[in-house]
Amino acid sequence: MTQNKTSDVLRDARRIVVKVGSSLVTNEGRGLDETAIGEWSRQLAALVRGDGGSAPREVIMVSSGAIAEGMKRLGWTTRPKEIHELQAAAAVGQMGLAQMYETKLREHRMGSAQVLLTHADLADRERYLNARSTLLTLLGLGVVPVINENDTVVNDEIKFGDNDTLGALVANLVEADALVILTDQKGLYTADPRRDPAAQFVHEAKAGDPALEAMAGGAGSSIGKGGMITKILAAKRAAGSGASTVIAWGREPDVLLRLAQGENMGTLLVAQTAKTQARKQWMADHLQLRGAVVVDEGAATKLRSQGKSLLPIGMTAVEGEFSRGDVIAVRDLAGAEIARGLANYASAEARLLCRKPTLEFEALLGYSAEPEMVHRDNLVLMGG
């Protein structure tokens, strides 16, 4: 493809997930690289504020480095193999990693938040939605979330495997426009340039192209777990929700700012499906729905013609049994399915909220959560 350029993807992206690997964060295992983290933090702050007249961005940082920093603090020179030792190193290193980002972002008047995730957080529907809500709230507050895998509690059976995968899953979670993977290479080559002088640089390709996986080598560092293959697979995963991926050299001066300003850098792996199209197609393709809500004529009109969210006050009945995060149908009074989307409330709660205004939610449920039964971003019209 030639019509999509790195400049277009990053210049137009409003929500960006940035992933940086262990070798960069810890300067090949020598300990947290204060200068490098300070530079990325400066750029993240500038993107969030919209410095230089550019539009403000929402940015999430997925950062490796906890185990490597813990190894340094514990005086270990080789990565341990025992899971309890890796967990201990992560626990020690996470303290320094979070403190470093908090300090460097605060120097640029930017708030930060530490978010630790496990695979179970994203596999469970309710925890998935809770994680999404938390991250979107932080972004709305102008805070930079710094995410790492919760290595202190996971084992090999539930690990993401590498933070490239975690970066892609976070991009899917928040429906990011782009994923930027910062690495110790300029981008993707047809072969390992450190071993093959004939290797050619790949400026652009389609995310998910099988040829990419064939040309990628194994892990390139003894510090981290990921190699170029994990980045290619992460780009393929991110493309599932419509996010394109850029793989670029993390030590390139002002790499994030230059990408956001439209400079062609690194390797662009283009998603073949638009972000909104991918998400809504996923909901529309659900063959089995756990339940439905019936809405009055006013709510049906707002959904069909005004692009509004579904509020409980417009619901007249709840059908079936479903959990928060399930895809449910939205039916009009005649029984026609007019939309479907992700339920913010389980069926038992939804029944309590029918015909009720938002102000009464806390009294009815004992807590106050989302004002919508289905948010418009999580809803697709079915043409009924």
- Structural domains of the chain, with CATH: 6-275 (3.40.1160.10), 286-381 (2.30.130.10)
> Within a 10 A sphere around the Cβ of 343, how many other Cβ atoms?
29
| pTM across the whole model | 0.80
Q: Which tens digits make up the pLDDT trace of 8-67?
A: 888 999 999 999 988 899 887 778 999 999 999 999 999 999 998 888 999 999 998 898
- The answer to whether 333 touches 316, Cβ cutoff 8 Å, is yes
Q: Which tens digits make up the pLDDT trace of 92-122?
A: 999 999 999 999 999 999 999 999 998 778 7
Residue 267 gets the label, from left (phi > 0), alpha (psi -120 to 50) or beta, of beta
Of 354, 274, 337, the closest CA to residue 303 belongs to 337
